Amino acid sequence: VSSIDCQSSQRTVTLPGLVNIATYVPSLSEGSKDFAKVAEISLASGFTMNRILPFGTEGSITDAAALEAAKSNTNNAAFTDFNFSVAATVNNSSELSTLASKVGSLVIPFNKLPGSINKVATVTDHFSVWPTSKPIVTDAKTTDLASILLLASLHNRNVHITGVSGKEDINLISLAKEKGLQVTCDISVYSLFLSKEDYPECKSLPSKADQDSLWENLSSVDCFSVGMLPSQVAYDLGKEVTPGLGIADTLPLLFSAVQDGKLTVEDIVSRLHTNPVRIFELHEQIDTSVQINIERVSPVNPAAEINWSPFADNKLLHVTVERVVLNGVPVSHEGAVSGAVLGRDVSSHRLP
C-alpha cells in the first residue's frame, strides 16, 4: 500500500496524538523489556503519550529507587512521550514530597491498601504533603470512593478516579459533578465492550447493568483509558499476560461504536486527547497526528498477531491505524513502527 493510497482514501480520519492515561507495564523492575514493548504497541495503535501506572505484577513505584529502576528501562525505548507516577502506601507519605517534582501524579491504590488500616488518615496524610499543582488519581470504589470524594472536597483538591466500572460509582461521580465537586474520571475501554455476561469468570469486568450505566453516563466520563483491565481479563481466562494487552483494540472498538451511532468522533477525541491533556496538565504534542482508515482491517493486526485479544476474530472491527506522526516525523505506518525514539520523559513537566 502506497502512502498516496492512504491519504486519498475516502474513509480516512485524522486524530490528534492519543493519550493513554493508565498504561499498564507488567514489569517495572530494572532490565525489563516490557516498557519498550508497551511503547511500541502504543505508537502503532495511535497513542503518542503514555502515563505509566505505578504498579505492575513485578515492582511498584513507591519510592525513589523504584522510580529510577523503572526509568532505566526507557532508554532507547521511548517510542512515545511518557510520564511515571508514584503510588501511595500506608507509610510513604513523608517520602513522597521529594518525589512530587519527578512524577506526573500520585496514585492512591485504594484497593491495595490493607483493609484494616485507617484509609481516611492515610489519604489525609498524602493530601497534606502532595503539592496541589500535581494530580491525584485513585481507583477507589463504593464507600472508599465516597470517602475520597469527601476528603478531596474538604481539602479543596481535584481528584481523578480511574477505571470506574460500577453503576453506583458512576452515578455517585455524576452526582458529585452536578454538585460542583472537582472530580474527573476515566473508564477502561474494555468495560464498554465486555461484561460478565461474556466472561462470567472475569471478576473485574462490569455486569451488564453496570456496563449499561457506563454508556448512559458517558457525559460524566472525562477520559477513556486502556488500564489494567485487559491484562486482568487475560489473567482470569488463563491467557499469558504479555505487555501491551488491549492497547491495539482501543480505536477499533471505539470506532465500531461510532459506526453503531453510540459515539461520535468528537467523543473519542475529547476522551483520548483533549480531556487527558487538560486534566493531567500534559504538553500539547506539536505536529503530532494519527491517521486512521475506518474501512480496512489492518494487514498487520497487532491485536491478533502480537498479543491475545478477545476481539481478535471480530470481523465487525475494521479500523486500521494508517500512520502516526510524532513531532513532525512519521513514526508508524500500518502497524510497523519506524524505530525512531522520539519520545520524551515528561514526568517532571509542570505547566508554566
Give the separation between CA 183 and CA 189, rounded to whole angstroms: 20
336 binds a copy of itself (CB under 8 A): no
Which residue in the set 2, 8, 10, 143 belongs to the binding site for a copy of itself (CB under 8 A)?
143
Asked if 172 touches a copy of itself (CB under 8 A), the answer is yes
Interacting partner of 153 out of Zn ion, a copy of itself, none (Cβ under 5 to 8 A depending on kind): a copy of itself
Footprint of Zn ion on residues 12-41 (CB under 5 A)? 16
CB of 68 closer than 8 Å to CB of 78: no
Residue from the set 13, 137, 176, 268 that interacts with a copy of itself by CB under 8 A: 176
Alpha helices in 2-160 (DSSP H): 3-8, 34-44, 64-72, 93-99, 119-129, 142-154
> By CB under 8 A, is residue 146 in contact with a copy of itself?
yes
* 209 is a contact residue toward a copy of itself (CB under 8 A): no
Which of 102, 177, 318, 349 lies at the binding interface for Zn ion (CB under 5 A)?
349
Q: Does 344 bind Zn ion (CB under 5 A)?
A: no
DSSP 8-state symbol, 17: P
Asked if 119 touches a copy of itself (CB under 8 A), the answer is yes
124 binds a copy of itself (CB under 8 A): yes
The residue within the footprint of a copy of itself, chosen from 27, 92, 147, 182 (CB under 8 A), is 147
Phi, psi of 222 (to 5 degrees): -80, -35
Using alpha carbons, select from 268, 289, 303, 229 the residue that is nearest to residue 49.
289
Q: Hey, what's the torsion of the CAs at 163, 169, 172, 174, to 10 degrees?
A: 50
**Residue 6, contacted partner among Zn ion, a copy of itself, none, CB below 5-8 A by kind:** Zn ion
* Residue 121 partner contact from Zn ion, a copy of itself, none using kind-dependent CB cut-offs of 5 to 8 Å: a copy of itself
State the Cα–Cα distance between residues 6 and 312, nearest whole angstrom.
23
Task: Rule CB under 8 A: choose which of 1, 65, 120, 209 binds a copy of itself.
Answer: 120
CA distance linking residue 35 with residue 23, whole number of Å = 10
Question: Could you say whether residue 1 binds Zn ion (CB under 5 A)?
Answer: yes
Which one of residues 4, 6, 54, 205 is an interface residue with Zn ion (CB under 5 A)?
Answer: 6
What order of strands is seen across the sheet that includes strand 183-188?
86-87, 106-108, 136-138, 159-161, 183-188, 223-225
**Amino acid, res. 322:** E
Contact pick of 151, 159, 306, 325 for a copy of itself (by CB under 8 A): 151
Contact call for residue 8 and a copy of itself (CB under 8 A): no
Least distance between a copy of itself and beta carbon 124 (Å): 7
The DSSP symbol for 107 reads E
User: What is d(CA 167, CA 184) in angstroms, rounded to the nearest whole number?
Assistant: 16
Binding letters toward a copy of itself, positions 226-255, x by CB under 8 A: ------------------------------
Asked if 142 is part of the footprint of a copy of itself (rule: CB under 8 A), the reply reads yes
Q: Is the dihedral of CA 273, 275, 278, 282 positive or negative?
A: negative
* Residue 303: all three cell numbers together: 491485536
End-to-end Cα, the chain, rounded Å? 43
What is the spatial distance between Cα 218 and Cα 271, in angstroms, rounded to a whole number?
A: 10
The binder of 147, among a copy of itself, Zn ion, none, by C-beta within 5 to 8 A per type, is a copy of itself
Q: Which of 1, 65, 90, 121 binds a copy of itself (CB under 8 A)?
A: 121
The rounded radius of gyration (Å) of the Cα atoms in the chain is 19
Interacting residue ranges for a copy of itself, rule: CB under 8 A? 118-121, 124, 142-151, 153-154, 166, 168-169, 172, 175-176, 179
Interacting residue ranges for Zn ion, rule: CB under 5 A? 1, 6, 16, 349
